Amino acid sequence: MSLLDVRDLNVVFQRRGERPFTAVDKVSFTVEPGQTVGLVGESGCGKSVTSLAIMGLLPKRGNKVSGEVLFEGADLLKLRPDDMRDRRGREIGMIFQDPLSSLNPVIPIGVQVAEVLERHQGRDRKQALKEARELLDAVGIPDPERRLTEYPHQISGGMRQRALIAIALACKPRLLIADEPTTALDVTIQAQILTLLKQLVDETGTALIMITHDLGVVAGLCDTVNVLYGGKVVERAERHDLFARARHPYTHGLLSSVPRLDSPRGERLHAIRGSVSDNIPWTEGCAFAPRCDNVVDACLEGPPPLEPTATGGDLRCNNPVQEEVAVP
Amino acid sequence: MSDPITRPGVTAPRSGGERGDGVSERNIGLLGERKKARLEELARSTADKGGVSLVRDAVRRLRRNPVAIVGAIIVGLFILVAIFAPLIAPHDPVQRFPELTKDLTVDNIPGSQSGFPLGSDPLGRDFASRLIHGSRQTLFVGVLATVIGLGLGVLIGAIAGAFGGWVDQALMRVTDVMLALPSLLLAITLVAMASRSTQWTVIFAVAIVNVPIFARLLRGSMLAQRESDHVLAARALGVKERNIVLRHMLPNSMTAVIVQATLTFAVAILDAAALSFLGLGDPDINRAEWGLMLGVDGQRYFEVRPELAYYPALAIIVVALGFTLLGEAMREAIDPKNRR
C-alpha cells in the first residue's frame, strides 16, 4: 500500500455569480514510504492548491474538493476536522515558501518548536524546550541554546528555514510536504537547505512531496516527477527518464529553457511562447495547445487521455516530442 | 523522542557559510595572541546582543525620538504628581481656610497670598491644592475608562475577528452605529440615561464610547492575521483553533490596539473633563476635578478671577498633549515599517 494515494483530486473555486474555476483537475499520484516525489509546474498550475487540499487547509468557503486522498488507506478528505488536525504536524508535516512570514513574529523560536511537541507528543514546556534545542542542533543551526530565546526577525533567512524544517520534522512525520521551500532564499542557502532536506528524509525515511518550479531542485532531489499544467498532470516519469527523454512538449520546453554553460555564445535562450493566460479549458482540448509547437488537429478536439509510456511513466499528449534532449 | 540516535540528523550537517558565527580553531591558531584575545572579545560582545526583545527594541527607538521624550516627561510628571498629591499639595483640598474666606465675596475671590500660592477658590479652599489633587481624579478616570474600553473592545474585536462570518457582521454593525454618533454626544446620552450621575457613570460612558474604536482596530488586524502565512503554518502543525486565536492571532494583532490605548487616554481625559464641564459628572462639590473646576467655578467667576478657568484648562491641555505625543511616538516606534 502506498503511503499517500491521491486519486482524482479535484479542487474547484467557486464564487457566487462567477464561473467556477478548476484549479486542480482530476490529479492522481502516489507517494511510497521514503520516496521523494516532485510536483512541478509554473505559477498557477495548481501545485500549491494540491498540497493545501491534501493537508485540508483550503479555506472552508468558496471551494469544492472532491476525489480521494488516501493516507495509509484512510481518506483524509473524509476525516472529521478534529482528527485531521491531530494528524497535521504529527503524521504529515509541511514547509512553506517564505520562512519569515511562516514563523510567528512575537514568539521566540524555541517556543515555536516546543509548541508542536507539546501539542502532539504531550511534552511539558521544559522537556519540549530541551528537545527543541536538540532539533535546532540537528538542522544545523549554530548555537541552538541562544536561538531558543531569539525571535524570527533576529536570525537569518537560512536559519529561519532550518527552524521551520525543525518544526515540521519535530514529530517525525511519515510525510513531509515542502511547498517551494527554497524560493525565498538566495542561491547558496538554497543549496544548503536542499542538502539538509535530502539528508533528513534519507535518515528518517520520511516521504517527501517537493513542490517546485525549479528543475534544478527536481534533478537533485526527486525520485519521481509529476509535471502539472493547468491543473492536470501532463507527464509523470522517473527523474532520469524525465531529464533524458522529456516526452511532453511542455516538459520539453521547460528543460530547453534552462540556460546551459555549454550552449554556443550568442544563442538566444529558448522560451515557451505565450503565457498561462492563453490556456484553453481542458474540456475543449489540450490546455497547452495554443502554446505548443507540436500541436495537431486532435489537440483541439478534446482532452488527451493520460496514457502509460514504455518507460513506466504516464503521458498526456497526442503528439509527444520524439528527439532526445541532453540532460542540462 | 528520548532516544537521540533516532532523531532526524543528530549528526549536524556541516554546511559552510551559515555556521560562521565564531572563528574556527584553525584560523585562530594563525593569529597572534593579541588578535586572538580581540577576536574572542568581539565574539562575546556580539553574543551578548542576543535576545533583543520587541519591547526593548521599541524602547530604544522611543528614546531617540525627542517628541517621545517630551511626551514621556509630561506623562511621567503627571503620574508622579497624581501619586504623591497629598505630599506635594500645601493644604487639604476640601478644607475651607479662614484666611481665604474672610475677604471672600461673589465679586472678590482672594488671589495669591502667603501660604496659598494660587489663592482661593470660590468656596475659600486652596486653589493650588485642588489643582494638584485634580490630577488624581484625572488619572483615575483616564486609566479606568481606557482599561474598561480596551477590555471590552478587545473582547468584541477578538470574537469578531476569530469567528468571522455572521458573528463578525453583527458585532461590526453595532460598532458602526456607535461610531456614527459623535463620541461626546454618545457619552452625554449614556450619562443622561443613568438615573444619578456619579464618577462611575462618567467612567463607563467614556469607556463605552471608546469600545468600538478598539473593537474595529483589533478585528481588522485579526482578519489580516487570519490570512497570514504563520497562521496557515500553525494550522499545518495541527495547532488547535483556540490556541491559534489566543497565541498566534491575538498577540500579533495587539500592537495597534496598545498604541491606540495611549491615544485613547488623552481622549478619555478630554471627554471626562467635557462631561464634568457640562455638569454631567459627579455633583460632589468636594471632589477636585479639573473639568468641574473649569466648568463650574471657572465659568461662573471668569470675570472676577479668570485664573480659576486658566489653570484647570492648562492642566487638561498639557496632560492630554503629553499622552498624545507619547502615543504618536509609540505608534511610530512599534510600526514594523519603521523597524531598522
Q: Cβ of A156 and B18 within 8 Å? A: yes
Scan for cell 509546474, then name that residue. A41
For residue B213, name the pLDDT band (cuts at 50, 70, 90): very high
Can you give the pLDDT at residue B146? 93
Q: Which residue among A105, A119, A154 places its CB closest to the CB of B238?
A: A119
- Residue A143, chain B, CB below 8 Å: the answer is yes
Structural domains in chain B (count): 1
Best CA proximity match to A29, nearest among A68, A58, A83: A68
Give the whole-angstrom CA distance, residue B141 versus residue B191: 14
10 Å Cβ neighbour count for A281?
13
Q: Cβ of B237 and A115 within 8 Å? A: yes
Q: Which residue among A102, A131, A156 places its CB closest to the CB of B233?
A: A102
Q: What is the mean pLDDT of each run of 10 residues along chain A (328 residues)?
A: 90 86 90 92 87 89 89 90 90 89 89 90 89 89 89 87 90 91 83 87 90 86 91 91 88 84 79 82 88 88 88 88 60
The reply to whether B96 falls in a domain is yes
**Integer angstrom CA distances of residue B310 from A156, A227, A310, A327, B74:** 57, 78, 96, 86, 18
Q: Is-contact A178 A209, C-beta < 8 A?
A: yes
Give the whole-angstrom CA distance, residue B115 versus residue B89: 11
Q: Which residue of B has its CA nearest to A167?
A: B237
Return phi, psi of residue B23, to 5°. -110, 135
The reply to whether B114 falls in a domain is yes
- Residue A127, chain B, CB below 8 Å: the answer is no
Q: Which residue among A102, A105, A200 places its CB closest to the CB of B9?
A: A200
Residues 22-51 of B with CB under 8 A from A: 47, 50-51
Best CA proximity match to A31, nearest among A198, A225, A168, A199: A225
Can you give the pLDDT at residue B31? 56
A58, A61, A67, A73: CA torsion to nearest 10: 60
Residues 28-87 of A with CB under 8 A from B: 55, 57, 85-87
Can you give the pLDDT at residue B44? 62
Return phi, psi of residue A209, to 5°. -105, 115
For residue B75, name the pLDDT band (cuts at 50, 70, 90): very high
Q: Work out the minimum CA distance from B231 to partner chain A, whole angstroms.
A: 7
Q: Strands A232-238, A314-315: parallel, antiparallel or unpaired by DSSP?
A: antiparallel
Give the whole-angstrom CA distance, residue A115 versus residue A110: 9
Residue B128's H or E segment, with its range, is helix B127-163
Sheet arrangement for strand A21-31:
A21-31, A4-13, A63-71, A74-75
Can you give the pLDDT at residue A310? 83
Helix, strand and coil percent figures for chain A, each rounded to 5:
35, 20, 40
* CA–centroid distance for B108 within its chain: 41
Q: Which residue of A has its CA nearest to B9?
A: A138
- Residue A89, chain B, CB below 8 Å: the answer is yes
Q: Cβ of A142 and B21 within 8 Å? A: yes
Best CA proximity match to B290, nearest among B277, B307, B305, B300: B277
The reply to whether B113 falls in a domain is yes
Give the whole-angstrom CA distance, residue A152 versus residue A312: 45
For residue B18, name the pLDDT band (cuts at 50, 70, 90): very low
Q: Which domain holds residue B72?
A: 65-338
Give the whole-angstrom CA distance, residue A68 versus residue A176: 19
Residues 208-237 of B with CB under 8 A from A: 228-230, 232-237
Best CA proximity match to A279, nearest among A62, A43, A64: A43
Return phi, psi of residue B253, to 5°. -100, -5
Q: Which residue of B has its CA nearest to A55?
A: B236
- Residue A159, chain B, CB below 8 Å: the answer is yes
Q: Work out the minimum CA distance from B164 to partner chain A, whole angstroms.
A: 12
Scan for cell 560582545, then name that residue. B45
Q: Which residue of A has its CA nearest to B233?
A: A102
Best CA proximity match to A49, nearest among A228, A237, A313, A315: A228
Q: What residues form DSSP beta bridges with A66? A: A10
Is A32 exposed, middle or buried (CB count within 10 Å of its CB: 0-12, 13-18, 19+)?
Answer: middle
Q: Cβ of B239 and A89 within 8 Å? A: yes
Lowest-confidence region among A123-127, B48-52, B317-321: B48-52
- Model confidence at B283: pLDDT above 60: yes
The reply to whether B43 falls in a domain is no
Best CA proximity match to B292, nearest among B274, B306, B268: B274
Q: Which residue of B has its CA nearest to A54?
A: B236
Can you give the pLDDT at residue A267? 78
Q: Work out the minimum CA distance from B235 to partner chain A, whole angstroms.
A: 7
For residue B45, name the pLDDT band (cuts at 50, 70, 90): low
Task: For chain B, give the mean pLDDT.
Answer: 80
10 Å Cβ neighbour count for B43?
13
Best CA proximity match to A73, nearest among A8, A10, A2: A2
Specify the CATH number for the domain of residue B126: 1.10.3720.10
10 Å Cβ neighbour count for A141?
27
- Residue A15, chain B, CB below 8 Å: the answer is no
For residue B160, name the pLDDT band (cuts at 50, 70, 90): very high
For residue B214, name the pLDDT band (cuts at 50, 70, 90): very high
DSSP tag of A57: -
- Residue B54, chain A, CB below 8 Å: the answer is yes
Q: Cβ of B238 and A87 within 8 Å? A: yes
Interface test with B, best of A80, A94, A106 (most B CBs within 10 A): A106
Residues whose CB is less than 8 angstroms from the CB of residue A90 and which lie 6 or more positions away in sequence, other chains included: A120, A171, A173, B238
Q: Cβ of A96 and B232 within 8 Å? A: yes
A44, A50, A53, A58: CA torsion to nearest 10: -20
Q: Structure pTM?
A: 0.74
Q: Is-contact B311 B117, C-beta < 8 A?
A: no
- Model confidence at B49: pLDDT above 50: no
- Residue A106, chain B, CB below 8 Å: the answer is yes
Q: Which residue of B has its CA nearest to A156?
A: B18
Q: Strands A92-95, A175-179: parallel, antiparallel or unpaired by DSSP?
A: parallel
Q: Which residue among A143, A164, A188 places its CB closest to the CB of B21?
A: A143
What is the share, in percent, of chain B residues with pLDDT greater than 90? 22
The reply to whether B36 falls in a domain is no
Give the whole-angstrom CA distance, residue B309 versus residue B294: 5
Is A237 exposed, middle or buried (CB count within 10 Å of its CB: 0-12, 13-18, 19+)?
Answer: buried
- Residue A26, chain B, CB below 8 Å: the answer is no
- Model confidence at B48: pLDDT above 70: no
The reply to whether B39 falls in a domain is no
Question: How many residues appear in chain B?
Answer: 340
Residues 107-126 of A with CB under 8 A from B: 107, 115-117, 119-121, 123
Interface test with A, best of B3, B7, B60 (most A CBs within 10 A): B7
Q: Cβ of B8 and A169 within 8 Å? A: yes
